[in-house]
A and B are shown apart, each in its own frame.
Chain A
Amino acid sequence: MISQSLKLLFPGLGLIAILVFAAVVVLFIGSGELEGILTEALIYMIMVIALSIFVGNSGVISFGHVTFALVGAYASAWQTCCSSIRGVFMPGLPEFILHADVPVVLAVLTAALIAAVVAVLAGLIIMRLSSVAASIALLSLLFVFKTIYENWGSLTAGQSSVVGLPVYVNLWVALIWVALTITVAQTYMRSAHGLRLRAAREDEVAARAAGIVVWRERLIAFVISAFFFRYRWRFVRAFPGNTGCKHVLAQHDFPHVGNACRWGLRSLTGAVIGALAVASIRGVLRAFEQGVQIGGGRCRSHRGCRRLHLLSFFY
């Protein structure tokens, strides 16, 4: 009975335990660089696991999830950024938002809910398409939203960055969100809804003949996935205190989306290890860019070599 219960908790609990252990080790070593790499890996992990809730269970490849990050990032920025000069950046905001001072955690949850609502509305149409058509439609959705946000200057500050966002992500905050995302992803995967969606991925006609309403199951996964797709965390980490359309679709995010599509397609562990690997490769390459002490000499690579980690996208 106990072994059965433990079996149900894995691999999620095991992954969380490993990540907590890694965080403790990094803090014990006291290296700021290592802490940065791990925090960044955790932030990407949230994104990859969230994406794998949809991609991994449905088999529908989605490059369009960045839409929800974009929607969520601005929704959060509207509530938390620079209340004194918010009207200067985004004069088109309604009065009640213009002067609101929402606590960060509440703003993040509200932003995620707004992203989820957008996912419901878009998903009601897109999830009825076949898998390739759905993938293309999702990418189109991203371009539609990106174009609107880039050009709706009074609400989004257009091409400019919105600065003055509160920074609150650290190693432990990221770890808590990873643990929460892993728990939700695992619970969903083992639920009847998760099973139905994976059945549809395996054989859609057989699944429908078993009474499964495929588009509805896809929509459920899509909305959960959109809620947890926390892209804004990356902005906070990589570009402290600002956000903007130009940061969306940043080239070094594609390895993670690719990783979610490839390694996260069949397992949660694959998604986690893949995110860790890509972030580590990037961290090591970045360290070499800045110069690493090896033996008596200092080894330094050309600037921009961190972009080599993009190759992992093609792997």
Chain B
Amino acid sequence: MHIWGLREMLLEVEGLEIRYGRVPAVRDLTFGIAEGEFVCFVGPNGVGKSTTTLAVAGVVQPAKGSIRFDGHPLAGTLIETIVSKGIALVPEGRRIFGRMSVRENLVVASGVRGGLGRKRAVLDRILELFPILRQRFESPAGFLSGGEQQQLAIARALLTEPKLLVVDEPSLGLAPKYVELVYETFSRIRSEGVTLLIVEQSVRRALKYADRICFMQSGRIVLEGNTPDLAQRTDLELVYFGEGKRD
């Protein structure tokens, strides 16, 4: 495992470039996430945050650069293989299986690791995190509220027992009470040793929950720092809208 600064890195991204046709969405992106860290990627729409998460999860393949997870390169690896290596993605828009019940949504994801007993234990632990899902266990997932669907999407990802959980815009379209609930859950998941990479548009929320924040502009990280340090700065709004400078 490589050493990035002084900490061991779980995820290392170097010189990443992703193109949609001829249009570059992410350019020369380099960052690392240490084991157990809670990192937020922040920025307005269209700056490459979601594309970065899709590349990490193997949904899109980079044109250049490398992604290493737990010391192993991920280039050309299939999505499902990446899941089995320990990266779980909760994509934007939740993408639950709406025609299936909550139980069935969870069953489909529970075949990744371990035998029946272990799966049952993992499911029980996850249902403790999301008690509403236990109440709606046999309800069609498509009938759940947005907040409940988001919890289901996160629960489904957690059933694969990831080392790194990647969540794309978990607060999108959610009532404020659900947003708080979802982020409280992230804190609890993190306390169990899961590393978190969250894409978020709200700087305030990122400052409240994350250890480290990466501000993105035009496919690049323009500012990166620990939350306590960034909280002292007064120019975050300018950085967010692309007018600030990287330290």
A interface residue numbers (CB < 8 A to B): 192, 195-196, 198-199, 202-203, 205-214
Q: Once bound together, how far apart are the Cα atoms of A237 and B96, in whole Å?
A: 46
Q: Once bound together, how far apart are the Cα atoms of A202 and B94, in whole Å?
A: 13
Q: Once bound together, how far apart are the Cα atoms of A198 and B83, in whole Å?
A: 19
Decide yes or no whether B73 CB sits under 8 A from chain A. no
Q: Is the CB of A206 within 8 A of B91?
A: yes
What is the minimal beta-carbon distance from B102 to any residue of chain A, in angstroms? 12
Q: Is the CB of B95 within 8 A of A203?
A: yes
Q: Is the CB of A198 within 8 A of B84?
A: no
Q: Once bound together, how far apart are the Cα atoms of A211 and B112, in whole Å?
A: 6
Q: Identify 8 new A-B residue pairs, CB closer than 8 A, beyond the known A199-B100, A205-B91, A209-B157.
A: A195-B108, A199-B104, A202-B97, A206-B91, A207-B108, A208-B79, A210-B160, A211-B88
Q: Is the CB of B59 within 8 A of A210?
A: no
Q: Is the CB of A213 within 8 A of B80?
A: yes
Q: Is the CB of A211 within 8 A of B83?
A: yes
Q: Is the CB of B89 within 8 A of A209?
A: yes
- Chain A residue with Cβ nearest B84: A211
Q: Is the CB of A205 within 8 A of B97?
A: no
Partner of B80, one of A195, A203, A208: A208
Per-position binary interface string of chain B over residues 100-132, scored 1 when its CB falls under 8 Å from any chain A CB and 0 otherwise: 100011011111100000000000000000000
Decide yes or no whether B212 CB sits under 8 A from chain A. no
What is the minimal beta-carbon distance from A273 to any residue of chain B, in angstroms? 20
B interface residue numbers (CB < 8 A to A): 57, 59, 78-80, 83-84, 88-89, 91, 95-100, 104-105, 107-112, 156-157, 159-160
- Chain A residue with Cβ nearest B109: A210
What is the minimal beta-carbon distance from B201 to any residue of chain A, in angstroms? 21
Partner of B157, one of A192, A196, A210, A214: A210
- Chain B residue with Cβ nearest A202: B97
Q: Once bound together, how far apart are the Cα atoms of A198 and B96, in whole Å?
A: 12
Could you list 18 examples of A-B contacts with CB < 8 Å? A192-B107, A192-B108, A195-B104, A195-B107, A195-B108, A198-B99, A199-B97, A199-B108, A202-B97, A208-B79, A209-B83, A210-B108, A211-B84, A211-B88, A211-B112, A212-B80, A212-B109, A213-B80
Q: Is the CB of B97 within 8 A of A211?
A: no
Q: Given known contacts A210-B160, A212-B80, is B95 in contact with A205 (CB within 8 Å)? A: yes
Q: Given known contacts A203-B97, A205-B59, is B107 in contact with A211 (CB within 8 Å)? A: no
Q: Once bound together, how far apart are the Cα atoms of A174 and B107, in whole Å?
A: 35
Q: Once bound together, how far apart are the Cα atoms of A198 and B98, in whole Å?
A: 11
